[in-house]
Amino acid sequence: MTDFPPPVPRDDYVAPASASAATPATAPAAYGVQGTRPAFNKMAIWGFVIACVALFVFGFLGALAAAFSGQALKAIRRTGERGKGLAIAGMCLGIFDFIFFLVGRFFL
């Protein structure tokens, strides 16, 4: 077996008195401003929910969902709220559903 020599004591090392002495007195500043995020637009949520329901109900609800989502997009641009993706998805689903309803109603 190999015997390792004992560690050599260093004269320039000073152990900290306690654990609190090793930590800085103040925490480092956070990067950026920590604040609350804007709320979701309620019309965008309702437009998306109605569009999803309209996929199974088949009716004029798709037009209602597209109208709600369009109003939500306007409000989101004006106020800076969240929910732009929901509004776009609700509008696309609503238009698709309404066109599918019209084709099924008048051409089949």
Q: How many domains does the chain have?
A: 1
pLDDT at residue 65, rounded to an integer: 97
Q: What predicted TM-score, i.e. pTM, was given to this entire model?
A: 0.66
pLDDT at residue 26, rounded to an integer: 66
Question: What length does the chain have?
Answer: 108
The pair of three-digit structure tokens given for residue 5, joined into one six-digit string: 């020599």
pLDDT at residue 103, rounded to an integer: 92
Asked if the structure places residue 91 within a domain, the reply is yes
Asked if the structure places residue 42 within a domain, the reply is no
- Residue holding tokens 């004992």? 6
Nearest to 85 by CA among 99, 97, 73, 98: 73
Query: What DSSP line would sit under 38-97, residue for residue?
Result: PPBPHHHHHHHHHHHHHHHH-STHHHHHHHHHHHHHHHHHHH--B-HHHHHHHHHHHHHH
Asked if the structure places residue 44 within a domain, the reply is no
Residue span of the structural domain in which 82 resides: 55-108
- pLDDT tens digit at each of 108 positions of the chain: 678 777 777 777 676 676 555 555 666 666 666 778 999 999 999 999 999 999 998 788 999 999 999 999 999 999 999 999 999 999 999 999 999 999 999 988
